[in-house]
A and B are shown apart, each in its own frame.
Chain A
Amino acid sequence: MSTLVQQQEVRAEAREARAQGARDAVLRTILAVGVGFILLPLVIVIVYSFSSVTYGVFPPPALSLKWYGHLLSLAPFREAFARSLVIALAATTAALISGLLGALVLVRARFAGKELLRGFLLSPIVMPKIVLGVGWFIFFARLGLQGGIVPITLAHIIVVLPFIINILAANLIGLDISLEEAAQDLGASAPTVLWRIVLPQIRSGLIISGLLAFIVSFDQVESSIFLTRGENNTLPIEMFLYMEKWQDPTIAALSTLLILFAGIVVAAALLVARGTDLRRMITR
């Protein structure tokens, strides 16, 4: 009798193991297909940047570097890239400073209506970008502030500010306040406490929110499209307008360079973040 029960158990276990194996295989496939789907448009863009023909035939009949040559001959893209870089850096810096101070108040001060204030400061996230874009268009036109990069930079500060406040506030909540109190007891002024005690502890939050803000600013189309007039196009708008007219792989060549650029920016940010963690571990 007991052997029969044992046999049944062994069989049940084998069945369970087979089912487990099948589930494993299915889930691995799902993961592979999911990652493949996510990466597919980026991979195809890189492949097509080396295509020898204009139109999207798969597979490309032959390989060529001519689209890179064509891209380099187009000065507007180069200038737009530099413009976008300056705008993203300026907007990120301004938003980091004002956002850090604002986040400090949101986390450390107590007053009535704080949740309302938080909601207000974070509300640009849900505001449709095209609505903001038209709003800025009318606003800057009324002010007579048109063209150049100043209006676009000011607009981007508002676009990225909520992301920065949100991430920095989340980082500040976790801090041990007794460290700061100890420093103040030892005679440190408030700015010193902020610079020497608070900032080093939220360094990764500063890097991540800064990186996110940079990327978000660098990718603005709707919010800025009414603020550009050709001479001051940002890179995504230059690409968007080019794509409305032409669909040749020049955009693919540019996109490949941008993918490379994004990779470098992220790798650099990771290295900086990793480096600070390492330093902190060594000095501890």
Chain B
Amino acid sequence: MKIAGTTALALLAPAMGLMLILYVIPLGFYFINSFHLFRDGRILPIWTLQTYVNYFTDAFSYKIIGESVQLSLVVTVLAIVIGYPVAYALHTRVRGAGARAALSLLLFSPLLVSVVVRTYGWFILLASQGLVNTTLRAAGILTEPLSLLFNFRGVVISLTHIMLPFVIFPIYSVMGRLDQSLKEAAHDLGAGWWQAFVRITLPLTMPGVVAGALICFTLALSAFVTPRLLGGGRVQVLPLMVYNNTVEINWPTGAVSGLTLLLLSVAAVWALNAVLKKLPSV
């Protein structure tokens, strides 16, 4: 069925109508506030760039931006370092479609459960008398309980867990498309497992790694629930600033914070897409 002219317009109308009214206009309202000014507890409806000037000359803003980028980078690196071996093991060591589907579903299952539930799970695990601390002390690794709640560490652990499925699956799906004969050729030419892995598998699965990193970084950058509940006010990232500013009716500063958050996401997408284009495709 080919679609042309007015039919195409008519079919597009519901989606486009929803997007224009419920997406473009609200975002417009939101960003327009960045050109107003918040003073003495209220928003002055004047047109000015003063909010931008104030925001970008304030050292506190850079602290928040730095902490946001740092958190997302650490989480992305950890998720890849943990996720890659898991994807590789799933790809090479699990035979049979049923076993693979079952394991994939297990690895995917946290996404079916609210992020509030998962964050609560880490809240229990990371408590000073929780499973993690109890186990580490029983194993003699720690003598004093390690402080994991209400600080950067706890947020990193919990966010890494939340992001893992988003990293494992792109890598796993690229591995599935890998031409097995390349690896066999490497072995026939005398390459050992390690050499074949480093020279063949790793470079050819980099597109999956970059795709996973892209999803992970942008999601971690805009994460709100976990930093809010596990950060204990000590992990201050951009989404929390947007939230706080909005609650304080300081919409202009909130809009500039939000715009910064959006620009960082777009920059990350753009940079990683540029990397992706340079990589050999499978």
Contacts and interface: CB of A to CB of B under 8 A. Distances in A.
Interface stretch (B15-23, B55-63, B202-210): B15-23
Given A35-B107, A131-B261, A101 B15 contact: yes
Interface in B111-138: 111-125, 127, 129-131, 134
Contact of B161 (A38, A48, A109): A38
Interface string B87-102: 0111011100000000
Given A27-B93, A34-B89, A108 B2 contact: yes
Nearest to A33: B86
Interface stretch (B44-52, B178-186, B222-230, B274-282): B222-230
B64 to A, nearest CB: 13
A194 interface: yes
A102 B193 contact: no
Contacts of B222: 128-130, 222
A243 B258 contact: no
B15 A99 contact: yes
B33 A102 contact: no
B86 A31 contact: yes
Contacts of A121: 15, 19
Contact of A139 (B29, B109, B113): B29
B200 interface: no
Contacts of B114: 218-219, 235-236, 239, 255, 258
Contact of A138 (B16, B29, B129): B29
Chain B residues touching A, majority SS: helix
A137 B246 contact: yes
Contact of A198 (B1, B26, B82): B1
Interface string A85-106: 0000000001001110110110
Nearest to A134: B246
A139 B25 contact: yes
A243 B116 CA distance: 9
B93 to A, nearest CB: 5
Nearest to A114: B8
B161 A240 contact: no
Contacts of A251: 116-117, 120
A272 interface: no
Contact of B14 (A98, A236, A239, A258): A98
A262 B110 CA distance: 10
B73 interface: no
B141 interface: no
Interface string A163-199: 0010000000000010011001000001001100010
B117 A258 contact: yes
A169 B185 CA distance: 37
Interface residues on B, range: 35 or more
Contact of A58 (B86, B120, B130): B130
B71 interface: no
B12 A102 contact: yes
B271 to A, nearest CB: 14
A273 interface: no
A255 B23 contact: no
Interface in A141-171: 142, 154-155, 157-158, 161, 165
Given A129-B224, A130-B242, A219 B115 contact: yes
A24 interface: yes
Interface string B72-89: 000000000011011011
Contact of A19 (B4, B193, B229): B193
Interface string A249-279: 0011001001100110110000000000000
A98 B258 contact: no
Q: Which of A134, A190, A244, A258 has its CB near the most chain B CB atoms (within 10 A)?
A: A134
A109 B103 CA distance: 39
Interface string A189-219: 0100110001000000000000000010011
Contacts of B18: 94, 98, 157-158, 161
27 contacts: A24-B93, A27-B92, A31-B93, A34-B83, A34-B164, A38-B164, A41-B110, A41-B121, A44-B125, A44-B131, A48-B124, A58-B129, A58-B130, A104-B11, A109-B4, A120-B19, A131-B30, A142-B29, A165-B15, A180-B1, A181-B1, A222-B225, A225-B243, A236-B116, A252-B124, A255-B113, A255-B117
Given A94-B18, A219-B114, A266-B105, 13 more contacts: A23-B193, A34-B86, A39-B109, A42-B109, A102-B14, A105-B8, A130-B243, A132-B26, A165-B15, A184-B1, A222-B225, A240-B116, A255-B121
